[in-house]
Structure 1
Amino acid sequence: MKKLAVMALLAGALSLNLATPAHAAPTFIPDLDITSFDGTELDANLFVPESPAPASGYPTVLFTNSWALDKHQYLLQAKELANRGYLVMSHSTRGFGASGGTVDVTGPATVADARVLIDWLESNYPVGNLGLAGISYGAGTSLVVAAADPRVDAVAALSGWSDIVEGLYPNETVNLVWGSLLTFTAFNLDPSVDTIWSNLRNGTDIDSVYDFAAPRSALSYVEQLNSNGTAVLMSNNFADYLFKPNSMTHLYSLLDGPKKLMLNPGTHAIGETLGGNEGHIWATSFRWFDRFVKGETNGIDSEPKVDMTVRISNKLEQFDDFPVTDRSTHYYLHPRLSYFNNGRMKTGPYKGWGWSNDFHGGADTAAGTGIPLISDALEGFGIPVFTNMNGINGYHAIEYNSPVHWDTFKIRGTPTLDLWIKPSKPEVQLQVHLYDTDPFGWGRLITHAPVTLHNADVGRAQKVSLELFTTSYDVPPGHVVTLAIDTEGAIYQKPADTRYEIEVPYRRDKQSVLTIPHL
């Protein structure tokens, strides 16, 4: 599995559309054993440019591996940078590859290791400005290290996280597929990590999960990143149901220094690994380093800060900032007549008599995100998740249709939902999906989000508010937007008791509203 992943990474790097200056090949040192602060041996490799160091020192980049991968992951990217005059080290974080120790999920030891590696570089080579880069685990770790060490001038965080809780416990819902995949593919996990995952799965000592996640999440270090003046580039993918774009857009909004945000189709790490957007992600990352590590005036800091690629069409758009639009449509939910009908979404509030609809747990429906991991990856190649909307069981779900859009409806950003419900049990789960539905009843998934209530007021009306995952999608003319809500999803852990009823009340003073940002 690791070999396949490395081959994919190397193949993706070949798609980089970058002009390499013609000069002598860099020197490659394939194996370095560097002793960390506690005696742990860290495995690394190094590319040294053949050109002499500038007076200010070599522009330097430290690559950090993705989960379950090692120092070999970025060989082609590292060589490319070295050909451009960079000193480049790649390392295996503790617990991965040939490095010693156990995986502590960007814990204090892993952060200290990175600082030791920077010390080693400075002791052995003339180091100038410094950049950190990585995909997934390497991205989240790079952000935390940059906050801890003011020597870091720039970061390229690709498919990373800024909030571990948002990744593994979105809206208090256990991310079962991704969490299990992570724990099963790390063979040297620190015992504390197993304990945290067990607590999350069992719903026990949840405070310990938050205590574990905070020091490992860049959102805890915004003040330090701003104080350090770190230039931060982030790239995330719309169908990444591990590290969703939402927490990264939140981090982006809080940063004061140079920053850039790229949002792409596809799932976790696929766009970055397979040369996403025709090499745009890596090419932009290299330009970021050229500007903020190498010191070249290449104009990237005066270009639009947000690159957003539309789902399915893969059309690249650029915007000055995020949110990319201040326009939105508020859709008020109106009732359905029976289990065999859909409710309606209107731009005006519900003003009728008191009414209610209900739907029930106990079964999944055709509303969903497709085949876990596979469907998410295919979206990056323009293959959407299709659903027969007419086949969604109205006893176990509820649907609402918007009016027909006669012009292209360009959704850009983070839809939100305020939904009034009366649950029949204290623990219930909602799986909220947004679809583009054609005149024949076929729906294409636009976005989704789960939410789990663990201590709901049984039998009392209460408002559930949530963000759906950030998206970019064009609804074609003649189609409608459908909000479909059921109680189970293939990615997420279900409540222990799924036999419950959700009642949706409709009252003048209890308006359920879906808000969609658009151009």
Structure 2
Amino acid sequence: MARRILIVLTLLLGLFISSPAQAASGFRAVDITGADGVVLKATVIAPSTAGRHPAVVLPSSWGLNDLEYLAQAKKLAGRGYVVVSYTPRGWWLSGGEIDTAGPKDMADLTKVIDWTVANTVADPDRIGAAGISYGAGISLLGAAFDSRIRAVGVLSGWTDLVQSLYADSTRHRQSAGLLELAAQLVGRPSAELTANMADFNAGRDVADVMNWAAVRSASTYLDKINANRPAVLIANGWGDTFFPPNQLVDFYGKLTTPKRLELRPGDHAIAELTGVLGLPNEVWTSLYSWLDQNLAVAPTSTGSVFLKPLNAAAETYPTWSAQTTSLRRYGLGRIRGLDGTGLLGGAVSTGWTRKLPTDADTLASGGLVLITNGAAAITGQQPSVWLPFVDRGRAGVWASERSSTVQRIRGVPAVHLELSGTEATGTVVAYLYDLDLVGNAKLITHAPASWLTSTGKVDLRLPATAYDLPAGHSLTLVVDTVDPLHYEENPSGKTITIGGGSYVDVPLR
């Protein structure tokens, strides 16, 4: 009964929001038999006009169900698509246990496509798959295993689950914890998922967890995806705390299929959210265009990159690398003056050190998963700190000279830190800020890096970003050892020493 009430309310909302270009049949709830007999709950809507139509399969997001896409399914049906949205196994009323986009989920997706072709007016030669988050990951992975998928929409999805869990050897605490909580509340976690999450949280059997995650990573099957040649749209947020953009950028660069990459401000699934509610939304509008282009008899799409910078107008490039025209190296220098701040810039220097305590946090922070970067996307203001309040006894701070012109940062900044006397394990966290004249520092990008065997250096690729550093502002690096977003590998009561030879590489346009 609750399911039917939600369907009716969503349909009524859709009537007030927009009128479809074509008449569509009403939603109907169906049961689809997946792999090994598991029953998957699904909803179907189709154009009411005669003939075969392109079809889109929408697997629901982690923690949600097939009703998630009701508003968008209505819009797509109005554009002439058969739409089948379904709840993956282990969630809500679908049978089985959560497979986390594993082999059973891939087999289920093929069964859903089989059912769609056999039971609707779907054209078997024009099948697409799309979704948000979990649905995005299943759709992209599915394109490696079912060549009937001709177009894919990856909205806030992942391409490398190993990187999502262990980027730069650092475990992502808050995002993984939130996913685990959702599985416990509205899903039925498999023994495999439970065991791997327990190992992940305990920091043990890392190789086994990585192998489990690799099976669930599209990057593992890149050759198959390229061979099948689906047209792939990847849309994500600069500040996605679940699936930061670098893995998507790297995957996009290796795709040889028709492809498009879009990056916008915000955290996980924030950019798509208003579209789920049936409101106008540019991510979903882009998906409509992508499907229209690539489910035609002769696809017309080519590679392209769309970027909406954190604080500038949208830009389009033919390739990812085209946005970057130069790379500037900022050397880290000796601490100067009474404020405990070093110079960021000039030649890479030697002969200095900076010790950081391993168990002391500072005001420099990535914030809260979903909340901080999500709010920034809505307000247009990056999270910020007042830099004088960042404790120099707990952090290293380096600030550049103030430029007389705007510095257009475009691409993936990189941090190289020379270390001495490190413990066997450790973690540092690097934050790149925009510092104004009165001490307000807006976060541009940040990331942690850990080591599990003693090392003399850290090389860290910060998450990709697009940000205009205003004239008169200072590019500022803060390094500390703790951030609540992540597990850290530091022993208590020790220090990490950063020294000469350290630098930051910043891509500029």
Is the pair's TM-score, using the shorter chain for normalization, greater than 0.5? yes
- The answer as to 2:489 corresponding to 1:518 is no
- The answer as to 2:348 corresponding to 1:361 is no
- Residue 30 of structure 1: CA displacement? 2.4
- Residue 463 of structure 1: CA displacement? 1.8
Aligned partner of 1:475: which letter? L
The residue that corresponds to 2:138 in the other structure is 141
- The answer as to 2:310 corresponding to 1:311 is yes
- The answer as to 2:57 corresponding to 1:58 is no
- Residue 419 of structure 1: CA displacement? 1.0
Q: Deviations over 1:300-347 (max 9, x none)?
A: x25x7111111145x211111112224111111112148841111223
- Residue 37 of structure 1: CA displacement? 2.5
CA contact (8 A) 1:177 1:492 kept: yes
Q: Indicate how the Cα distance of structure 1 residues 194 and 406 shifts in structure 2: closer, same or farther if over 3 A, else same.
A: same
Partners in 1 of 2:117 and 2:506 — Cα distance?
50
Partners in 1 of 2:468 and 2:20 — Cα distance?
37
Q: Indicate how the Cα distance of structure 1 residues 223 and 371 shifts in structure 2: closer, same or farther if over 3 A, else same.
A: closer
CA RMSD of aligned residues (A): 2.5
The residue that corresponds to 2:286 in the other structure is 284
CA contact (8 A) 2:332 2:344 kept: yes
The residue that corresponds to 1:393 in the other structure is 391
* Aligned counterpart in structure 2 of residue 88 of structure 1, from 83, 86, 104: 83
Q: Indicate how the Cα distance of structure 1 residues 308 and 58 shifts in structure 2: closer, same or farther if over 3 A, else same.
A: same
The residue that corresponds to 2:463 in the other structure is 469
Partners in 2 of 1:514 and 1:10 — Cα distance?
49
CA contact (8 A) 1:200 1:209 kept: yes
Partners in 2 of 1:48 and 1:221 — Cα distance?
32
The residue that corresponds to 1:210 in the other structure is 210
Partners in 2 of 1:52 and 1:423 — Cα distance?
73
Matches within 5 A, 1:108-507: 108-128=103-123, 129-187=126-184, 188-275=188-275, 279-295=281-297, 301=301, 305-313=304-312, 315-323=313-321, 324-337=323-336, 340-350=339-349, 354-381=351-378, 382-457=380-455, 462-495=456-489, 497-506=491-500
Q: Deviations over 1:386-438 (max 9, x none)?
A: 11111111111101111212111111111011111124421111011000000
Partners in 2 of 1:192 and 1:490 — Cα distance?
27
TM-score, length-scaled by structure 2: 0.92
CA contact (8 A) 1:408 1:474 kept: yes
Q: Indicate how the Cα distance of structure 1 residues 481 and 148 shifts in structure 2: closer, same or farther if over 3 A, else same.
A: same
Percent identical pairs in the alignment equals 32
- Residue 371 of structure 1: CA displacement? 3.7
Partners in 2 of 1:184 and 1:349 — Cα distance?
45
Partners in 2 of 1:252 and 1:16 — Cα distance?
38
Q: Deviations over 1:177-235 (max 9, x none)?
A: 11111001113111111111111121211111111011110101111111111100000
CA contact (8 A) 2:408 2:468 kept: yes
Residue range with higher mean Cα deviation, 196-205 or 40-49: 196-205
In structure 2, the residue corresponding to 1:440 is in which secondary structure? coil
Residue range with higher mean Cα deviation, 167-176 or 473-482: 167-176
CA contact (8 A) 1:63 1:138 kept: yes
Q: Deviations over 1:273-317 (max 9, x none)?
A: 1249962211111000001114487x6x25x7111111145x211
Aligned partner of 1:504: which letter? I
In structure 1, the residue corresponding to 2:77 is in which secondary structure? helix
Aligned partner of 1:203: which letter? G
Partners in 1 of 2:421 and 2:19 — Cα distance?
59
CA contact (8 A) 1:290 1:296 kept: no
- Residue 18 of structure 1: CA displacement? 8.4
The residue that corresponds to 1:74 in the other structure is 69
TM-score, length-scaled by structure 1: 0.90
CA contact (8 A) 2:229 2:257 kept: yes
- Residue 358 of structure 1: CA displacement? 1.4
Residue range with higher mean Cα deviation, 273-282 or 220-229: 273-282
CA contact (8 A) 1:428 1:500 kept: no
In structure 2, the residue corresponding to 1:122 is in which secondary structure? helix
Q: Deviations over 1:346-377 (max 9, x none)?
A: 23232x6x222212122110111234432111
In structure 1, the residue corresponding to 2:250 is in which secondary structure? helix
Partners in 2 of 1:207 and 1:146 — Cα distance?
27
